[in-house]
Amino acid sequence: MNYRHGYHAGNFADVVKHLALVAILQHLKKKDTAFAVVDSHAGRGVYDLTGEEAAKTGEARGGLARLINLPDEMPPALAAYLGLVKEGGPSRYPGSPLLAAQLLRPQDRLTAIEKHPEEFAALKDVLASYANVQAEQGDGYVRAVKLLPPPSRRGLVVMDPPFEATDEFESLARAISGAVRKFATGIFLIWYPVKSQSATDVFLGEVLAAGVQKALTVDTQISAPEGKLDRAGLLVINPPYGFDAEMFAAAQIIAAPLGADIGVKWRAGGP
């Protein structure tokens, strides 16, 4: 299965991931002090839901499309996420770097990293109008670690690799361990597909054993045809106060329309 962003734009996993991203950024904005966002695998920034990749899977129909007409009263992060998505129109879905760029204040910064030349070219164009945003072409794992810690000592690191490599979990675990060593107080939002529970458990165990003291996971599962993405997880290291409650409240609203089971669970770290 190809987990490249374009094939899954606006699907159930994107909805939960981007909801978490918005919730974290809203928390960081509660203080006037500047913060930095580093997105290690930024993709192209925005996706055409009528384009070839998205149309091939049609996954947005089972994700974002089911949330457009939710009741007006909802948790702040969910309302903000859906508001940003609707601003782009019905066929234009914002990726993580564009959502982050739209939520930054003048004092905040975003570095969005993308390795694939075509994806990077599109990303650079999408982010060109944001003065406090830098798009970089390069190895996301290497660059993300080198950029830490940010001068403000406040920030979020987003790691959302495409899982094209067979050893992606190993590469991801190494990068997280290195990043946490350099930025122990930072917030980390990490996405991963769940194809094998044992492989997922090994990955989480390696990360949590690398000095992480405070973390939670958000596990989302749907019914899908064989061979289609049906389960994905988020690992959130150093989640902000109240993040678990807001994600749980939002899950109560979006789970039924998505046909999903969404579990928010605290994880114990270690030395």
* Secondary structure (H, E, C), 122-174: HHHHHHCCCCCEEEEECCHHHHHHHCCCCCCCCEEEEECCCCCCCCHHHHHHH
Instruction: Please report where in the chains the tokens 């928010």 appear, as a residue.
Output: 264
Preceding amide of 150 cis, omega within 30: no
Active-site annotation holder among 14, 39, 108, 160? 160
Please state, in angstroms and rounded to a whole number, the distance separating the CA atoms of residues 26 and 68. 21
Residues ≥6 apart with Cβ < 8 Å to 251: 262, 264
Residues ≥6 apart with Cβ < 8 Å to 113: 38, 39, 40, 41, 42, 135, 136, 137, 138, 139, 140, 143, 144
Please state, in angstroms and rounded to a whole number, the distance separating the CA atoms of residues 105 and 49. 28
| Catalytic residue list contains 32 | no
Closest CA to 251 of 10, 20, 92: 20
Active-site residue set? 160
